[in-house]
Structure 1
């Protein structure tokens, strides 16, 4: 089987995976003993830390049936091209790999082929709990979606039978997040009556009410002093996405960012020939060009140093916040996202969401 290598940015491995590493020169009997003792149904074969192959209980059983002696070395029967993953894919991605290839575990290797861990199919069903707070902006009027929003906050409009806000919370929950803060302004009682304190949904919810609209960043100043000091994820409540929030958070931490903005690639096609030059002189004619830009995706990571620096109840938009903090010497970064993303701001978007939701697994 051809080797397949995949990548992500956080370490994934089970405890004591080093116990199943053996040498190519070890005997089949040694491999059998290791497999039996650790109960993982395989041993990793490595030399000087570099992966050489794997041997499973099935490999040993087939070798014995062919008459191979247990004293023979593992190198003679091992799989020299096992499927592996670099450090490291998300649990969902690893789970999909193992199911597609009908295997129960994956060695984790670095860029040089050195073994750094092991992930089992069982591990992929376990979700690491994240203490980072999640701040969802749900106070807008949703004027472009009227009359649907005349009596309902936009994040509470149903997509696939559930409010968008519930879909968003469940997506975060699936990535291990459980501490939620929801900013309200328009028809707050509908949101609060539906979710309560979050216990019925397996999460914790605290509400932050804006007496007057404070812009896309101003509500950050209303967060309570008890807010955890871990970096906060902030997202607009009308976004439908399957972004891996853990990967985003890992990027923010790894690069020592104070504020990280998710951005989307946006293509703008000009249907005419574009004339370039100075004055009356034509220097170049570009026929129907496409220009590409990164645009704000309405998802952010904000560190507590920035939240603590904000003035309470001051109107502030997110682009202004990033610009101000960059000028003050804070590190502000962009994080391109290529997963599904939809800003449900218009009727066409809402109709599209009704179809897309069934393909996203949210």
Structure 2
């Protein structure tokens, strides 16, 4: 974030004038009133000050006289998408983030100055045959199959646009002309959209070698075009940059229950028995962030999948991170997944 929430703290005895100056100087439209231990006592907005003046208070009056002593707050670490949804519902411009009652941050509805814009390229993989969704994909590429009233890939595109991304590339192979006809150059969504075409399937990693050599030196986000998700892409990118990662893979928590009792032994002796244990794994969610170094290392027209590309990076002792996602996620690979998506979309916001 491009601001420091510590600059908007006030003591309850501070004059209202100080609150106004602080709100104007920091351009956050809010001030936080705290005690010596940074425990939140209230919040002050320009509107609170104006209402106080209408009650015949002066600018020399203490800020405690105009603050809202019971503000809405959120827990530190809450996903930005959840915070934005809550702020829009409650008509809030900003919300304090607390940890054990102590002020630990601030989130704003529109980040400072203007809506955030990210120049990072976003690569949408849309070249698959979708064989497991036949006969639906016999005459329509899977990314154009509709979930609700929009194609899958358009829902994915809109998710990135809402997060502030503006530069997109789509990889095509099967029925490419239909995808190009639907999305065009991206002007319909006020974004930049270009295409790369795989003459033969190159895998999720190999398609990176077809991208223009003059892409900006910024991390690139790659996502499979059949993934329906509410993952916070801004937080993902922030995580990648914070850890100075060569690559970041989004992972999902996956549980598998063994349907039998598991016996552990040494030789012929039983040591322990566990009835139908549950095993937990992190699984690949089909969403990645890769550095320009890794992207440019992919040889043009060479076939390689992303897990193999990341394994090569790990073997070079490069920093490859995993980003666990708890938001909604669905890989629309099978007919039952597609049918589930039709139900889920009714209660989701994309």
TM-score band, normalised by shorter chain: 0.7 to 0.9
Deviation, 1:97, is 3.3
1:54 is aligned to 2:43: yes
Q: 1:134 aligns with which of 105, 122, 125?
A: 122
2 CA distance for matches of 1:315 and 1:223? 14
- What pairs with 1:320-331 in structure 2 (closer than 5 Å)? 320-331=308-319
2 CA distance for matches of 1:61 and 1:225? 57
2:226 corresponds to: 238
Deviation, 1:186, is 0.9
2:211 corresponds to: 223
Deviation, 1:74, is 3.7
2:87 corresponds to: 98
2 CA distance for matches of 1:33 and 1:126? 21
Q: Contact (CA 8 Å) 1:12, 1:118: kept in 2 or not?
A: no
Deviation, 1:94, is 3.0
Q: Contact (CA 8 Å) 1:92, 1:124: kept in 2 or not?
A: no
2 CA distance for matches of 1:70 and 1:311? 66
> Relative to structure 1, is the Cα distance of residues 214 and 68 closer, same or farther in structure 2, using a 3 angstrom cutoff?
closer
Deviation, 1:23, is 3.5
2:177 alignment partner, SS class = helix
Q: 1:144-180: CA deviations, max 9, x gaps?
A: 1111111111111111121111111111111111111
Deviation, 1:54, is 2.9
2 CA distance for matches of 1:283 and 1:88? 42
2 CA distance for matches of 1:37 and 1:316? 53
> Relative to structure 1, is the Cα distance of residues 338 and 12 closer, same or farther in structure 2, using a 3 angstrom cutoff?
farther
Q: CA RMSD in A?
A: 3.4
Instruction: Give unpaired runs (5+ residues) of structure 2.
Output: none
1:151 corresponds to: 139
Deviation, 1:83, is 3.4
- What pairs with 1:190-205 in structure 2 (closer than 5 Å)? 190-205=178-193
1:342 is aligned to 2:330: yes
Q: 1:69-126: CA deviations, max 9, x gaps?
A: 886544466445543457775554333333555655434678894576573x565995
Q: 1:255-291: CA deviations, max 9, x gaps?
A: 0110111111111011111111233322111101110
Q: Contact (CA 8 Å) 2:3, 2:112: kept in 1 or not?
A: no
2 CA distance for matches of 1:36 and 1:139? 50
1 CA distance for matches of 2:193 and 2:63? 54
Q: Contact (CA 8 Å) 1:181, 1:208: kept in 2 or not?
A: yes
2 CA distance for matches of 1:115 and 1:287? 44
Q: Contact (CA 8 Å) 1:157, 1:163: kept in 2 or not?
A: yes
Q: 2:197 aligns with which of 186, 209, 226?
A: 209
> Relative to structure 1, is the Cα distance of residues 358 and 112 closer, same or farther in structure 2, using a 3 angstrom cutoff?
closer
> Relative to structure 1, is the Cα distance of residues 68 and 258 closer, same or farther in structure 2, using a 3 angstrom cutoff?
closer
2 CA distance for matches of 1:40 and 1:244? 23
- Aligned residue pair count: 347
Greater CA deviation, 245-254 or 68-77?
Answer: 68-77
1:310 corresponds to: 298
2 CA distance for matches of 1:200 and 1:63? 47
2:294 alignment partner, SS class = helix
Q: Contact (CA 8 Å) 1:91, 1:124: kept in 2 or not?
A: no
- What pairs with 1:162-173 in structure 2 (closer than 5 Å)? 162-173=150-161
> Relative to structure 1, is the Cα distance of residues 35 and 12 closer, same or farther in structure 2, using a 3 angstrom cutoff?
closer
